Structure 1
Amino acid sequence: MTDNNAAGWSDFGWDSWTDLTLVRARLDAGADPNHGVYSFEPPLHAAADRGSPEVVAELAGRVDGVDAECEGRTALWEAVFNDRPENARALVAAGADPWRPMMGGWSPGRLSLAGPWPGLFFPFPPGHAGLTEAETAAVAEAERLAGALGGIGYDGYSLACVRGISAAEAARRLAAEAVDEEELEEIMEDPSDDEAMQIIGFTDVPGGCVVSQEWGYMSSTPGVMKALSAGTIAYGMYANPKSGNQGCVYRDGEVLDWDTHPGGGDVSSTDSAEEILLKYLYVGNAEAYCFAGAGLRPTDARAITEPDTHLRLPERDYWS
């Protein structure tokens, strides 16, 4: 019997999928080209996401089907979503279909039109839809937002982006009260103090408002998100310096999604077409993802770094 590590993929790290010699050795020793150690990621999908085109071509020549789907997408879709054009070309050369329908109507070819390589699969074949006017506008807005929100050089803050209400209305919903300026200065000198957690910022932006806290998680807690999202939608996020970005989405006081990883590209086959595009456009840009999801159009990062107003939240349980 062959040792699992010698013949399988169980000890393969992130960079292993760029090592053609290593991949060939595993395949020749009996590793299954169709199945990985994790059922949700076959070897070809892993290589398409983070490997080299040479490894992709090797695996594509050994699998049972180059267009085999896992969690609703093919390896070619993974290459496009993760902006790996050379891997995509290797897959097409091996027979992968760029226009195979999947993932909420986003075939690999159609998704590529929204990314940095819109000419990847030209000439565009007849009978396949391009981007809609709204999708084209979303692509342009993603480019604008990336520039507008650039330069946030720290973690530890939280935000709630709320569609269609003003900062004043947000403060009313939360029963937030004014803070004496001298007291605010004292609190902000030591934001690690418990009292500082009750102080949050409010800022009007085109499309709605942002509730934020520069030094803590309070703005994205369930109690805050429920109140803010009444009759609308709110995208929240805590930039946790220990474990990464923690996101949530609320609509009309109810949680739609919790403990997400905004900007992380964690796409599900159950996502809507709009949500898939949103996640694709904002990979690596968590703050912009939250603004765009709520339909807000800020011109800068001031709502996070320098809110218009700081107010005090009343004492209550914000986690239930």
Structure 2
Amino acid sequence: MAAAFGSAQEVAALVAQGEDVDALYDGSTALWRAVYVRNFDSVEVLLAAGADPALPMMSGWSPARLSLATERPLATDEVLTPRELAAVEERDRLVAAVGRFPAGDGFSIACVAGIDAHEAARRLKAYVVPDDERPDVTNWTWDDEPFGDDSELAVGVTDVPGGCVLMQPWYYNAATPVVANLLSAGTVVYAMYANPKSGNQGRIARDGQVVAWDPHPGGSANADDTTLEVLLAHLYAGKAVAYCCAYVGLRPENTKAFTEPDQWLLLPDRDYWRA
């Protein structure tokens, strides 16, 4: 905990008390956590105390291997795969592209790989709102109902490199199980509802079925995460929307898909929590 959230001085004080520098907590050591949060002063303290940078953990990410994704890599014979290198290189560009969104909570999104907005509308059996019927939604608030009684069913959709993005500024329907299932046939969807009460609630669907409910995009890596999930959690800590895009391989160039969608859809009126 000190390595992740404290100072190097606090870490050094615990080391001086004879603490086991390679003790595992939630699947990782203090050195791993210090690398994960880029607490490089604590990294040096732990290495000097004998912490093992090559100790296997976290789905193949030793502290040394994880450090290769930081600006201060440790000496190691381990390497990143081409896919992992590409993820590291993409991180700064993607964070900059969506960095000004969101301004608050209450919105939902679905990042969909491999299909465009037209196909998304078809899969959802949604009504595409003509341009001359679109209301002014430039200043959204949590209590607005720009589509009147249909506001809870209105979602925006925009093509981006790699697929498309659905978004709903005022409700959670873009991230419901049925929407994720319908969109994910033959592909993958990472959906998220930014719940004002409990934080970011994720949902992953593959091939028409939800496979993970309530992961926390932008949160900490866990011992049971996959190799890719550990890396993405490290790269996109605190960047939930960018994490959702990266997980499915979307490469938006700016915030437009999340703030000014190309089209608005009205979803059919149905139960979106159960098939």
Cα 1:186/1:273, change in 2 over 3 Å: closer
Runs of 5+ unmatched residues, structure 2? none
Task: Tell me what 1:268 maps to.
Answer: 222
Alignment of 1:151 with 2:97, yes or no, is no
Is residue 2:38 matched to residue 1:53? Answer: no
**C-alpha separation in 1, matches of 2:192 and 2:18:** 40
User: What letter matches 1:147 in structure 2?
Assistant: A
Q: 1:247 is paired with a residue of what secondary structure?
A: strand
Aligned AA (2:159): D
- Which of 78, 94, 119 is 1:129 aligned to? 78
Please state how far the C-alpha of 1:64 moved relative to its aligned partner: 4.9
Task: Give deviations 1:188-208, integer Å, cap 9, x for gaps.
Answer: 883275420111111111111
Q: Output the CA distance in 1 between the equivalents of 2:136 and 2:109.
A: 22
Q: Deviations over 1:68-93 (max 9, x none)?
A: 11222111111111221111111111
Cα distance in 2 for residues equivalent to 1:63 and 1:220: 48
For structure 1, the residue ranges without an aligned partner over 5 or more in a row are 1-45
Q: Contact 1:187–1:196 at 8 Å: present in 2 too? A: no
Bigger Cα Rg: 1
Aligned pair in 2 of structure 1 residues 185, 270: CA closer, same or farther (>3 Å)? same
- Residue-by-residue CA offset, 1:257-279 (whole Å, 9 max, x unaligned): 211221012x2222111111111
The count of corresponding residues between Structure 1 and Structure 2 is 268
Query: Match for residue 110 of structure 2?
Result: 160
* 297-306 or 149-158, which deviates more: 149-158
TM-score, length-scaled by structure 2: 0.91
Give the aligned residue type for 1:216. Y
Q: In structure 2, what is the Cα distance between the partners aligned to 1:100 and 1:168?
A: 48
| Partners of 1:268 and 1:311 in 2: CA distance | 36
Q: Deviations over 1:246-265 (max 9, x none)?
A: 11111112222211221012
1:187 Cα shift?
Answer: 8.3
Q: 1:175: how far off?
A: 0.2
Instruction: Give the 5 Å matches for 1:107-118.
Output: 107-118=62-73
Normalised by the length of structure 1, the TM-score is 0.79
Question: Partners in 1 of 2:80 and 2:110 — Cα distance?
Answer: 29
8 Å contact kept, 2:94–2:242: yes
RMSD over aligned CA atoms reads 1.8
2:157 is equivalent to residue 207 of structure 1: no
- Tell me which of 108, 111, 123 is aligned to 1:173: 123
Residue 156 of structure 1: CA displacement? 1.9
- Separation in 2, partners of 1:194, 1:57: 60
Cα deviation, residue 318, structure 1: 0.2
Question: 2:239 maps to what in 1?
Answer: 285
What's the offset of the Cα at 1:47? 0.7
Contact kept in structure 2, 1:158 and 1:212, CA below 8 Å: yes
Retained in 1: the 8 A contact 2:156–2:261? yes
Residues 41-86 of structure 1 deviation map (CA, whole Å, 9 limit, x = unaligned): xxxxx11111111111121233452101122211111111122111
Quick one: higher RCO (CA 8 Å, sep 6+), 1 or 2?
A: 2
Give the C-alpha shift of residue 242 in structure 1: 2.9
After TM superposition, which residue ranges in structure 1, 4 or more long, deviate above 3 angstroms? 180-184, 186-190
The one-letter code sitting in structure 1 at the alignment partner of 2:9 is: E
